[in-house]
Amino acid sequence: MPDRCAEALSQVLELVVVLGDDMARGLARTGLTVPRATLLWELRVRGPSTQRALADALDVSARTVTGLVDGLTATGFVTREPHSTDRRAVSVTLTAKGHATAEALAEGRSALGAQLFGDLPEARLTAFTAEVAALVERLRAAIREDGE
Partner DNA sequence: TATTGTTATACTCTATAACTATA
Partner DNA sequence: TATAGTTATAGAGTATAACAATA
Rounded distance between C-alpha atoms, residue 135 and residue 13, angstroms: 13
Binding partner of residue 69 among a copy of itself, DNA, none, CB under 5 to 8 Å per kind?
DNA
The single residue among 8, 11, 21, 63 that binds DNA, judged by CB under 7 A, is 63
- Cβ neighbours for 108, distance < 8 A, ≥ 6 positions apart: 26
Paired with 82 in beta bridges are 90
Q: How far is the CB of 86 from DNA (least distance, A)?
A: 5
DSSP string, 31-71: T--HHHHHHHHHHHHH-SB-HHHHHHHHT--HHHHHHHHHH
Where does this chain touch DNA (CB under 7 A) — which range of 64-72, 94-102, 113-121, 126-134? 64-72
- The only residue of 18, 24, 45, 62 in contact with a copy of itself, by rule CB under 8 A: 18
Instruction: Yes or no: say if 33 and 75 are a contact pair by the CB < 8 Å rule.
Output: no
- Name the binder of 67 from DNA, a copy of itself, none, CB < 5-8 A by kind: DNA
Beta strands in the chain (DSSP E): 78-82, 90-94
57 binds, among a copy of itself, DNA, none (CB under 5 to 8 A by kind): none
Report the interface residues with DNA, using CB under 7 A: 33-36, 50-53, 55, 58-69, 71, 80, 83, 85-90
